[in-house]
A and B are shown apart, each in its own frame.
Chain A
Amino acid sequence: MKKHSLILSDSFTFVNANHLRIETMADIERLEKIASQVRRDIVRMVHAQNSGHPGGSLGCTDYLVALYFECMKHNPEEFSMEGHNEDMFFLSNGHISPLWYSVLARSGYFPTKEMETFRKINSRLQGHPTTHEGLPGIRVASGSLGQGLSVAAGVALAKKIDDDPQFVFSLHGDGEMQEGQIWEAALFAAANKIDNLISTIDYNGKQIDGPVDEVLSLGDLNAKWKSFGWDVLETNGNNMAKIVDTLKEAKSRTGNGKPIMILMKTEMGAGVDFMMGSHKWHGVAPNDEQLADALAQLEETIGDY
């Protein structure tokens, strides 16, 4: 388990020290076991087609598992596009699709076996997520960056018009903050008090051409979102107990006139030691040997697809 096990033991220390609102330790263990299986799914999918984005997918695994298996009210058995009286999630950084596909399949939106078709011809599991092929769980296409916050704000606004009490969640890359549309949506959501929107930035500090700070620095991201009128939380996205706690804290802060932004520090490639520590694994698939090495670090907890 190498470095990943260190992250897990960190989380246990954190839970004990801070008396977080976690019902039982077993819940966190359950989520971590799911996350381990999801990480296996990610590397296996990307390896099988020799194509895809493992780095960010692995980095955001704990967040998305926490969201779908603990923090969101949703209905995998009867997926509804409109999502009335459900929490709804939008993935704006669509390239981490293998993570979303695994979490959706493991939640019951579609058969896990379908993960075999990822990025292959005639598949519903397109390289970037789409509604076009009718895959349950997906409500808008994403991949071209910067658009998901506007879509999520539109859905959140519709929920307000309809007096629907549920929440809208969205996830974004930190490199994606370089897109101007993000800041248009940021202005709108704050000015219009879209306070049922909980957005998260995968703050791994890396993008295709290198460190975000070198490509185009985001400066003080926390101060930027605060100055735009958002309620900003920070968390460690690779610590299951912490991310669960942060999502619950975010939900408790809704309805106060401000949209909520979670700056989530993650490690690109989290859980697979040789994929961590650089931006190299943003969009590169492991070879056979690397796959074996990765799988040896990730316990098969639910059963491979």
Chain B
Amino acid sequence: MKAFEVQNHKDTRSGFGAGLEELGKTNDKVVALCADLTGSLKMNAFADNHPKRFIQTGIAEANMIGMAAGLATAGKIPFAGTFANFATGRVYDQIRQSVAYSNKNVKICASHAGLTLGEDGATHQILEDIGLMKMLPGMVVINPCDYNQTKAATIAIANYVGPVYLRFGRPKVPNFTPENQHFEIGQAVHLDEGSDLTIIATGHLVWKAIEAAQKLEKNGISVDLINIHTIKPLDKEAILQSVSKTGAVVTAEEHMMNGGLGDSVAQLLAHYLPCPIEMVAVDDSFGESGKPEELMTKYGLDTPDIIEAAERAIARK
């Protein structure tokens, strides 16, 4: 199996902050809004260097989304940042009417997504956001896997015209994708070739999927590995090409099973290529307080869970 070199450990939210700061220098249409979480979202550099284009909205997310729609109407490219829970569930109707239905060029930037937010607990650990956002017609949904990819995705979405949901997280995780990579919205990254099983992972679960594939290989299972950073539009071609070769699938995501990546992949395969699918995701449950790694283990989102799912999928072939 291909080797993946970990360059360092960094949080994906810092990748967002770095990408945003670069956009501040290169694209004067970019404006940023934040609802009292500037430091948490790593938006300080943009705020400090481009004060006229940084808008502190206070703890008022509904107004933030509405203002972003207004700024986009007038030709700006607004990046509206807050925690994933407050960026989606709290403001669903504002996003639905003022952004999605109105087709506004708003970038909803959501940090601290999923269980790895950790100790703050279930009030802040949204596991439904991908589902909420992917149901909105026209909404692009992106969940990059590491610092470098999040930075590249942040820069890429400024050049795409239309509403985007960009999801990232809090903890430091292995940073292994190329620095200054080209990010193509909707194009899966084929991480490794394999023949027995396809693993399709997104966000923080991509590194865990790599770890799982390495262990599975030692057990004689060859894994075709896909990093699906864009959940919508889904790279159907890449998935069908891989699964037509392997005939079994595991999906892995830090999200609820209902409405997540697994749902999208199952929908696709039910239409074109029915085969055994196992999903590594949270099964109809809220999270709780704890250290990120403890939570990932307790809620079944860890490397051993992917390995077990792979064995189940292969057994069903």
Tell me whether B58 and A82 are in contact (CB under 8 A): no
Tell me whether B58 and A188 are in contact (CB under 8 A): yes
Q: Which residues of A contact B73 (CB under 8 A)?
A: 81-83, 139-140, 151, 154-155, 158
* Apart from the given pairs A150-B62, A181-B62, 7 other A-B contacts in the complex at a CB distance below 8 Å: A84-B75, A139-B73, A140-B70, A147-B98, A151-B73, A156-B70, A162-B74
Please give the distance in Å from B151's CB to the nearest CB on chain A. Answer: 25
Known contacts A130-B101, A144-B93; A157 and B63 CB within 8 A of each other? no
Nearest B residue to A158 by beta-carbon distance?
A: B74
> Which listed segment binds A: B49-57, B142-150, B241-249, B299-307?
B49-57
Nearest B residue to A162 by beta-carbon distance?
A: B74
Known contacts A154-B68, A154-B70, A161-B31; A141 and B75 CB within 8 A of each other? no
Please tell me if B27 contacts chain A, counting CB pairs below 8 Å. Answer: no
Tell me whether B58 and A151 are in contact (CB under 8 A): no
Tell me whether A144 and B97 are in contact (CB under 8 A): yes
- Which of B53, B63, B73, B76 has its CB near the most chain A CB atoms (within 10 A)? B63
Q: Which 6 A-B pairs have the closest CB atoms?
A: A154-B70, A150-B66, A158-B74, A154-B67, A184-B63, A184-B60
Q: Which residues of A contact B71 (CB under 8 A)?
A: 154-155, 157-158
Tell me whether A132 and B103 are in contact (CB under 8 A): yes
29 pairs, CB–CB < 8 Å, chain A vs chain B: A82-B74, A84-B75, A132-B102, A132-B103, A139-B102, A140-B98, A140-B104, A141-B98, A147-B93, A149-B66, A150-B70, A150-B94, A151-B67, A151-B69, A151-B98, A152-B70, A153-B66, A156-B70, A157-B55, A157-B70, A158-B31, A158-B71, A158-B74, A159-B74, A181-B94, A184-B62, A184-B63, A187-B58, A187-B60
Q: Which residues of A contact B201 (CB under 8 A)?
A: none
CA distance A295 to B151 in the complex (A): 62
Please tell me if A36 contacts chain B, counting CB pairs below 8 Å. Answer: no
Please give the distance in Å from B175's CB to the nearest CB on chain A. Answer: 34
Tell me whether A188 and B60 are in contact (CB under 8 A): yes
The number of chain B residues touching the other chain, given as a range, is 20 to 34
CA distance A184 to B70 in the complex (A): 15
Please tell me if B265 contacts chain A, counting CB pairs below 8 Å. Answer: no
Tell me whether A141 and B101 are in contact (CB under 8 A): yes
Tell me whether A153 and B74 are in contact (CB under 8 A): no
Please tell me if A185 contacts chain B, counting CB pairs below 8 Å. Answer: yes
Q: Which residues of B contact A144 (CB under 8 A)?
A: 93, 96-97
Please give the distance in Å from B106's CB to the nearest CB on chain A. Answer: 10
Please tell me if B65 contacts chain A, counting CB pairs below 8 Å. Answer: yes
Q: Which residues of B contact A153 (CB under 8 A)?
A: 63, 66-67, 70
Nearest A residue to B55 by beta-carbon distance?
A: A157
Please tell me if A143 contacts chain B, counting CB pairs below 8 Å. Answer: yes
Q: Which residues of A contact B60 (CB under 8 A)?
A: 184, 187-188
Q: Which residues of B contact A84 (CB under 8 A)?
A: 74-75
